[in-house]
Structure 1
Amino acid sequence: MSGGFLRQITIESDELQRRGSWMSRLHLDPWLLLLLSLIMGGGLVVLYSAGENGMAIVQSQALRIGVGLLVMLVFAQLDPMLYRRWSPWLYMLGVIALVLVLLFGAGAQGAQRWLALPGGLPRVQPSEFMKLGVPLMVAWFLGRMSLPPRLLSTLMVLGVIALPGALIIAQPDLGTAVLVIAAGLAVLFLAGLSWKLIMLMVAAGGASIPVLWLFVMRDYQKERVLTLLNPGSDPLGAGWNITQSKAAIGSGGLHGKGWGEGTQSHLDFLPESHTDFIMAVLAEEFGFVGVTVLLVLYALTVIRCLYIASVAQSSFSRLLSGGLAIIFFMYVVVNVAMVSGLMPVVGVPLPLVSFGGTSIVTLLAGFGILMAVHTHRRMLES
């Protein structure tokens, strides 16, 4: 009787798998895919208006999105335990790549952030990939021990986070360094870090501000901080970006001026309108309503990611998924605050909307890992 029962269970399980949707077979989460598609589709609409080359820049961005979606599909097929085994190696490769950037990297606009690949391949920015490498490594480290972590384990994790952070700051790329460090700290926070250690870290961070100001930050970075505090001190120089961005946001009103009717971007008042300041273009042309719709889509995406983290089946998967959700949230917060004049300009793009290649591929790879965590969990349950 036991054998007949097991055969019946096997037959029903096979029938259930045959009836599964094509998304389940491809390990894709339909809700997450829908939200990402809406964000990227809306981003292409705004980019057409913000870009100087119109359709050409949209086609280039669509190609980058296509590559990112392919990477997401590949990453979604892999079992989360593979990511757990590969985490230390991916982290070490990332650190080596960051060292190579400092030694042999290609520079642009006073920064050395890229590695030129042979054979005419496009340049890559290894610091972007550390937004995945650092949370993977921290989740691997913490997933092997009892939680919450003790003081010694916390100090070791902080060292793991600080090494790539320091290498990225040296490029210099303060914006990416902030996100990479935040990604690692998010995983550490989700591990149940005690409030005493959190307050100690906050106090240490506050005490390090004078050291960073005197010995780490470059002159242009200090200028950005001072401009944030008083943007009217140099409205035609250092304060130009923030002044024009806030003017674009304010002129949009409730419903905006209409698609393609923004004056700040089309008359070249707004710098970097298709990259870092594309949110200002959206606000000017689609108004408060358009900005609200985009922020709601972002919020729903973060909520879905946190749900995936909450039902994950291992400490590693939970910590990694939660960390990836928080880093995506940080992307949005930093860019919106920067464009609104609430934070210094640090060169962080609006996720999945701003023009760019490496950032989109990295983000979609992270979403592929989240889908792998969720869909492989369902396979184990069935």
Structure 2
Amino acid sequence: MLEKTRKFRDAIKNIDFTLIALTVLTAVFGIVMISSAGGDGAVRYVIVQSAALVLGLIGVVIISILDYDYLARLSKYIYAACIILLVLVLIPGLGRVQNGARSWFVFGPVSFQPAELVKIGFVITFSKHLSEVGSGLNEPKNMWKVALHPAALCILMLLQPDFGTVVVFVMMALAMLFMAKISWKYLAGAFGALLAACPLIWIFLLKQYQKDRIITLFNPENDPTGSGYHVIQSKIAAGSGKLTGMGLYNGSSRYNNLLPERHTDFIYSVICEELGMIGGVAVIVLLSAIIIRCLYIGLNARNSEGLYICTGVAAMLAFQAFENIGMCIGLFPVTGITLPFFSYGGSSLVTNLLAVGLVLNVRYRYKKINF
């Protein structure tokens, strides 16, 4: 009996309550801001987001129970499922076009973006792939297979087209490869190839509205009622909050309806408008704490697989936050990438929670507990 009690206490000690508390606090903060930013649809948005939070927390429990080594053993099946999802969404009649990209499944009132779930699958499968390759990563015979792993998923997402999500996957892959000690010659070669391909990407891959967003980044006032409208209104809203903000539910954009996508893409601008710079900094602190905690857990994982999982999750959250906040204050082009845990979107919130669940899985298994 005493032995069972001791093992139970050890198991409880392996649960990272700090990460759980940070995640729940951030998600609840996000729901509060959605209730302010949602306007006439606020009640529905809050209900959907709250339901996603509950569903995501259930998913956290489930994914935390399953040993991540066991999930990794299923990597071939998980990767195949990711490919199938991304192929199915491209089929007219199955995939729904929203904001110019065929990237959604819609079932009655419920819609979700399969690329969000694919992020979780990618973290698991790529971590397994890198751990299997091990010290042989930089051998050419292994490197091309490693590069093909994210490339196949990215190509399918480019066909939607969803460039923003593709960039997220690239950043996740680069962070995980960095932890796996990839040779700098490969990174330099990839960067050089990207620079050389930029003219071709600009001419053949980017649509006109995407080109306009990039051009607008440098001079949004050139087209204040067109491509520059979102950026200008976002910067006005963010700046009008000053230090302490106009007060929750009292932001001017709530009433003048000038800021588009207040509850999704530009919710950070609403936070700055209503809670001021203090609120904006609070968001950055919360997200940074979650990301740093993920990296800390990864660096103390029991094996390289755990390290890569935590790195992938941290990179996913970090880049999305970096890009979204930069977009809201006019430092980056508008891409549609959401702010983790804050922007409205059930599939996005569930994905972020499942990602945290993977990290909690790694933390729980610092030491193996046998009952």
**Residues 130 and 180 of structure 1 are in contact (CA less than 8 Å); yes or no, is this contact kept in structure 2?**
no
**Alpha-carbon contact 1:187-1:322 (below 8 Å) kept:** yes
Determine whether 1:96 maps to 2:84.
yes
Tell me which residue corresponds to 1:372: 361
In structure 2, how many angstroms separate the alpha carbons of the residues matched to 1:86 and 1:64?
Answer: 26
**Shift of residue 350, structure 1, vs aligned partner:** 0.8
Q: Name 2:195's counterpart in structure 1.
A: 206
Report the TM-score when normalising by structure 2: 0.94
Matched residue, 2:20: 33
User: How many residue pairs get matched?
Assistant: 367
1:223 has 2:244 as partner: no
Name the aligned partner's letter for residue 138 of structure 1.
F
1:48 paired to 2:35: yes
Question: Distance in 1 between the 2:136 and 2:284 partners?
Answer: 33
Change (3 A) 1:213 1:57: same
Task: Give deviations 1:18-65, integer Å, cap 9, x for gaps.
Answer: 4468x56xx742000110111112112211111113333222211111
The percentage of counterpart residues that share the same residue type is: 34
Which residue does 2:66 correspond to in 1? 78
- Runs of at least 5 residues in structure 1 that lack an aligned partner in the other structure: 1-10
CA distance in 1, matches of 2:20, 2:286: 12
Q: Does 1:262 align with 2:251?
A: yes
| Contact 2:302-2:365 within 8 A present in 1 as well | no
Corresponding residue for residue 131 of structure 1: 119
Q: How far 1:312 sits from its partner (Å)?
A: 0.8
Aligned counterpart, 1:6: none
CA distance in 1, matches of 2:239, 2:112: 36
Show the counterpart of 2:168. 179
Cα displacement (A) at 1:381: 9.6
Residue 14 of structure 1: aligned partner: 4
Q: Distance in 2 between matches of 1:88 and 1:255?
A: 51
Instruction: Tell me the distance in 2 between the aligned counterparts of 1:57 and 1:269.
Output: 19
Instruction: State the alpha-carbon separation in 1 of the partners of residues 44 and 90 from structure 2.
Output: 33
Conserved 8 A contact 2:67-2:361: yes
Equivalent pair of 1:213/1:222 in contact (CA under 8 Å): yes
Residues of 1 paired with 2:242 and 2:302: CA distance?
46
Pair 124,46 (structure 1): closer, same or farther in 2 beyond 3 Å:
closer
CA contact 1:165–1:177 (8 Å) conserved in 2:
yes
1:202-351 residue pairs with structure 2 within 5 A?
Answer: 202-351=191-340
Distance 1:287 1:116, change over 3 A: closer
Distance in 2 of aligned mates of 1:126 and 1:54: 25
Structure 1 Cα separation of the partners of residues 166 and 160 of structure 2: 10
Q: Is the 8 A contact 2:265 2:343 kept in 1?
A: yes
136, 143, 150: which one aligns with 2:131:
143
Between stretches 120-129 and 313-322, larger displacement belongs to 120-129
Aligned twin of 2:103: 113
1:107/1:214 Cα in 2 relative to 1: closer, same or farther (>3 Å)?
A: same
Distance verdict in 2 for CA 1:135–1:20, change over 3 Å: closer
Give how far 1:380 is off. 4.4
The structure number with the bigger radius of gyration is: 1
Quote the offset at 1:266 in angstroms: 2.6
2:111 alignment partner, SS class: coil
Q: In the TM superposition, what is the alpha-carbon distance from 1:148 to its structure 2 partner? A: 6.2
Offset of residue 177 of structure 1 = 1.4
Normalising by the residue count of structure 1, what TM-score does the alignment of the two structures yield? 0.91
Q: Distance in 2 between matches of 1:349 and 1:255?
A: 24
Within 1, Cα distance between the matches of 2:253 and 2:4? Answer: 59
Unaligned 5+ runs, structure 2: none
The 1-side partners of 2:66 and 2:277 are apart by 40
SS in 2 for 1:354: coil
How far residue 14 of structure 1 moved from its aligned partner, in angstroms, is 2.2
Calculate the aligned-residue CA RMSD, in Å: 1.9
